[in-house]
Structure 1
């Protein structure tokens, strides 16, 4: 019988290629504010730990080394308001995107099941549903979540909008997921990058949210953003020990194991808060230049309370904005990539060098 390929949408970034070429043709060069990939160096304390662990002749543990699991537990207690986790509640992953995409499969979802994700969202949540034939539903209102829902994705702080869910909103979402018998997961990888408050954004594992009951609740985290480890592929998931046990069992069969040197680098990253604070201040300084420049050029910036992006609009079709900025040599991402309907916003990344941000600000001034 003929093979039936997976029915997946076109990769959205392919449609941005002509605009990237347009931006690159600018006589003063190209400013890429489209990709949320770190441009600053990996902190020395982390790179040194990786280098010291390169004699990795033995298979690493899928569950993570005991030292790594303890480091994750300690970090949740110190930074995320969850001080009662044990090693059985945590599991390292190969970055966070693979877990986001694979979670419906790892939990055995399939046709007839529903995966809920935010209305404006990173597209991989829907891709994970498509991979198993489940139905993806975009909704921010727990009252609208279908009875067939088996998995709920939250994303706070959000990509692309930078919106943050408060404790009460997280608690209401958890309560509704439990009514439905669904697993609920918050993708929290921008939590340390808050701009209007001194503390990290609330975790779904915070005591104020779950009130001591972790059943059915998970949090996903990545060190790519706070520690400049995108190339290391360093992430983890934490929460309900029963669900963590299910994930570990399947991942052992598949062989999804973070490399041993990366596990050592993660221990160093999780134990050092100073580099996170320093990186946050670098992004804060870039944001403080780019935000007023966008406003002066006629853009309204919505949400953007946390994370590495500004969610900007002129009230026009997002592709019109992409084209206008490409003509100025600046590449941004249209809201259509994230399910915004109608798409009026663009996502503008802070992940560019100080020099590139200054260049972008100068070009925006010419558009004012």
Structure 2
């Protein structure tokens, strides 16, 4: 049977974008988690000053890049990795998320199921579909944690992998990654942990699935959110030696390579933590500002435990109706929860600078 691609979610927002654009000052786009702040300038400079890195790069990533990832993991999570055995580069997180099931199924063809949180980034399910696997959602509780005990035994037996994402996009929830890793090892299900928001937490230390040990787990990291470098497409995956080895070898055959100048820039970005601390403060201020704007509209919201999203219940109306209301009343474009698995929520990305967000508060004034 031919696979029918669904509409790309954000294309469905075009009519609401047009509505929001009618406001004086234009649309305030809070629909996509695309960072709008400047990246570290030393990283940008490296893109133009890396003349010696213009040849074909190693698919696994340069030693310089993998060492910078190794050192960052140690600083951020206090986890020791061997950059030769446990780390490899990827072309941003999304590419890895979508392609991983295809490559893992070559390793274990008897497994045909990808588990993922029922409320989550849509690429986990899409990667399963594109690989010919079954995409099986795992229920989440009111705190955003997985309800693994309700999975069917057959689904567990057939599982190629379980995707987790904490802090969560879209909910901002945080969970016990060690407990999830233990569950995976006890059920022989590899745990793949998308940790691109790991450092954007408040009042707690960043967490990683790697803390529990490397057996049966892979963490995936990206500079898109951490360093406002979404456009250069650079990240890495790290963990279980056998899984990392298999994936890096298959990816080598498929021509997956991060360009040399990009790796040079990424190495510098992973070597600097100060810009991330500054970005955390910006996001927190914006989240609090947006929460106050919503309150003025009689819309209740809670600040997330992590990430830079407000996950807002739509109350007695459908998510799309709330999307329409915000576009019409204050010119804000937000994403409906249906993109992520919930018909009664919206997601608001706190990515725009405060001077743009202030357009919303100005439009609230009578």
Q: Same fold (TM over 0.5)?
A: yes
1:133 Cα deviation after fit: 1.6
Distance change in 2, residues 1:108/1:194 (3 Å) = same
Match of residue 208 from structure 2: 203
Match of residue 143 from structure 2: none
The Cα RMSD (Å) is 1.8
Are residue 104 (structure 1) and residue 104 (structure 2) matched? no
Distance change in 2, residues 1:42/1:78 (3 Å) = same
Match of residue 189 from structure 1: 196
SS at match of 1:298: coil
Within 1, Cα distance between the matches of 2:70 and 2:53?
Answer: 24
Distance change in 2, residues 1:364/1:80 (3 Å) = farther
Are residue 176 (structure 1) and residue 154 (structure 2) matched? no
Match of residue 147 from structure 2: 141
CA contact (8 A) 1:143 1:176 kept: no
- 1:79-133 per-position Cα deviation (integer Å, ceiling 9, x unaligned): 0231244431011111110000001001126686211111200000000110122
1:330 Cα deviation after fit: 0.9
1:364 Cα deviation after fit: 4.6
Match of residue 142 from structure 2: none
Count of matched residue pairs: 351
Are residue 345 (structure 1) and residue 342 (structure 2) matched? no
Distance change in 2, residues 1:11/1:217 (3 Å) = same
CA contact (8 A) 1:187 1:219 kept: yes
Distance change in 2, residues 1:52/1:180 (3 Å) = same
Are residue 163 (structure 1) and residue 173 (structure 2) matched? yes
CA contact (8 A) 2:111 2:159 kept: no
1:213-362 correspondence to structure 2 within 5 Å: 213-302=213-302, 304-315=304-315, 316-328=317-329, 329-340=331-342, 343-362=343-362
Are residue 129 (structure 1) and residue 134 (structure 2) matched? no
Are residue 152 (structure 1) and residue 167 (structure 2) matched? no
CA contact (8 A) 1:111 1:134 kept: no
- 1:167-223 per-position Cα deviation (integer Å, ceiling 9, x unaligned): xx322222222232211111010111113x1522x11111xxx1xx31210001111
Distance change in 2, residues 1:150/1:112 (3 Å) = closer
CA contact (8 A) 1:150 1:181 kept: no
Q: Which stretch has the larger CA shift, 111-120 or 259-268?
A: 111-120
Q: Return 5+ residue gaps in structure 2 as ranges.
A: 139-145
Q: Return 5+ residue gaps in structure 1 as ranges.
A: none
SS at match of 2:209: coil
Q: Which stretch has the larger CA shift, 286-295 or 213-222?
A: 286-295
Distance change in 2, residues 1:105/1:10 (3 Å) = same
Within 1, Cα distance between the matches of 2:191 and 2:303?
Answer: 23
Distance change in 2, residues 1:365/1:307 (3 Å) = farther
Are residue 113 (structure 1) and residue 123 (structure 2) matched? no
1:299 Cα deviation after fit: 1.9
Within 1, Cα distance between the matches of 2:9 and 2:51?
Answer: 37
TM-score normalised to structure 1 length: 0.91
Match of residue 141 from structure 2: none
